[in-house]
Amino acid sequence: MPKRLTTPALQFAPELLLQAQPVCIAFFDVDGVLTDGGLHFSEQGETTKRFNTLDGHGIKLLQKAGIVPAVITGRDSAPLRLRLKQLGVQHAVYGTEDKLPAAQAILDSLGLAWSQAAMMGDDWPDLPVMQRCALACAPCNAHPENLAVADFVTRAQGGQGAVRELCDLLLVASGHYRTLLETYLA
C-alpha cells in the first residue's frame, strides 16, 4: 500500500512564520544564492552556471501563490537570462553592485513597501537590501556579515536548495503550501 502524506512534513517556528506572513515579493541574488557561487569559463570566455531544480520549482510555486520573485545580480550572462526566462521571472536587474536602488525601483513599480519584501543574499552587496526587508535570509554558507543580519538561515548551501527553503517558508506563511502540495498528491 502506498504511503499517504496527511500533513505537510515542513515545520517552521511560529514567530518566523509571523514575520514572513506579509511578504509579497522575494528578492534573490544569483551567485552564491541561485548558484553555488562558482564561475565556470569556457575557452571562449563564456560563463556557465549550474542551477538547482529544487530552487527553480520553488520560484514557480511562489508565482502560483501570488508572491513575486525578483532577481538583482552583479553579473549578467546569457545562461542566467535564459534560466530566469524559463522560470517566468519578470523582474530582474543585471550587472549592478548597487542593489538598493534596483530593489526600490522594483518595489515602486509594483506598489509594494519594504515591509512586504524578503531578500536572500550571501555577500556584502546584498546587505543594504537585506537590512531593509521584513525578512532577511541567507544560505548557510553566506559571508558572516550576511549571516549576522539574517532572520532565516537555510540548512542548504547556495545553489543547492537554499532558495527552495525560503520559498517553502513563504508558501507556508502565506497559507498556500498545503493547497499547492495537494495538487501534486491528487
Q: How far apart are the first and last CA of the chain?
A: 16
Strand bridging mode 68-72 / 91-93 = parallel
Separation of CA 170 from chain center = 10
Which SS3 state, helix, strand or coil, does residue 33 take? coil
Residue 47 forms beta bridges with which residues?
41
Phi/psi at 40 (5° precision)? -110, 125
Please check if 31 is assigned to a binding site. yes
d(CA 61, CA 53): 12
Place of cell 511578504: 23
Please check if 98 is assigned to a binding site. no
d(CA 52, CA 79): 13
Please check if 122 is assigned to a binding site. yes
User: How crowded is residue 90: how many other Cβ atoms within 10 Å of its Cβ?
Assistant: 13
List binding-site positions.
29, 31, 122
List binding-site positions for substrate.
31
List binding-site positions for Mg(2+).
29, 122
